[in-house]
Chains A and B, each alone.
Chain A
Amino acid sequence: EVQLVQSGGGLIQPGGSLRLSCAASGFTVSSSYMTWVRQAPGKGLEWVSVIYSGGATHYADSVKGRFTISRDNSRNTLYLQMNSLRAEDTAMYYCAKDGGEARGPLGYWGQGTLVTVSS
């Protein structure tokens, strides 16, 4: 069974850094393409970043140069390193796995982790 368990959120001051984790089970992260999506309080969904099995990555313009998506194959875990955080980065962050045989990028979701950027 595919499971994604997230951790690493919290309260952080503007300009600070935080690393989100997404521990996977039931599949191999390195063989999948993995995505981060966020949702500001009371707002809609926003795509943040994706990493493909071959290692290629893509980012939303709003986070490019500040956020880095990566994975640790030995831990079967996805990460999102967030630097130079701003108030507008405050959101619930979700990791997601592709749908496998059912195509598309967001077939399975983690439970979410809340990031609050505030002084």
Chain B
Amino acid sequence: DIQMTQSPSSLSASVGDRVTITCRASQGIRSDLDWFQQKPEKAPKRLIYAVSGLQSGVPSRFSGSGSGTEFTLTISSLQPEDFATYYCLQHNNYPWTFGQGTKVEIK
């Protein structure tokens, strides 16, 4: 199975901060890497597909980058509505695997 190591597991940040979350795959996954946001008691929502594709309706302050085994989600200027938990997902090999999540909290 491909392991997705996501870091950090949590972070505290202020509105306006630049935030970066990383996912490292245990082997190459080409561009089969997506990012999701989940707010409490809500279904996850896809933000980024295929490493860097911005899901329709998602603000442009969210961006994704990376290749091979290392991938990054960046929020350029954190907004109040961005406080949530973020997950990466690899769907290159079965079983598809998620990172363990990064909880973004208010500083």
Q: Which residues on A are within 8 Å of B, measured CB to CB?
A: 37, 44-47, 50, 58, 60-61, 94, 99, 102-107, 109-112
Contact = CB atoms under 8 A, between A and B. Distances in A.
Contacts of A110: 43
3 nearest A-B residue pairs (beta carbon): A104-B49, A47-B96, A109-B43
Given A94-B43, A107-B46, 12 more contacts: A44-B100, A45-B36, A45-B98, A46-B98, A47-B89, A47-B97, A103-B49, A103-B53, A104-B32, A107-B49, A109-B44, A109-B45
A109 B36 CA distance: 11
B46 A60 contact: no
B87 A104 contact: no
B55 interface: yes
B76 to A, nearest CB: 21
A47 B95 CA distance: 7
A105 B87 contact: no
Given A44-B98, A45-B87, A99 B43 contact: no
A104 B44 CA distance: 14
16 contacts: A37-B44, A44-B99, A44-B101, A47-B95, A58-B95, A60-B95, A94-B43, A94-B44, A103-B50, A103-B53, A105-B91, A105-B96, A106-B46, A107-B46, A109-B45, A110-B43
Nearest to A111: B43
Interface in B62-107: 87, 89, 91, 94-101
Contact of A45 (B32, B44, B45, B49): B44
Which of A47, A60, A104 has most B Cβ within 10 Å? Answer: A104
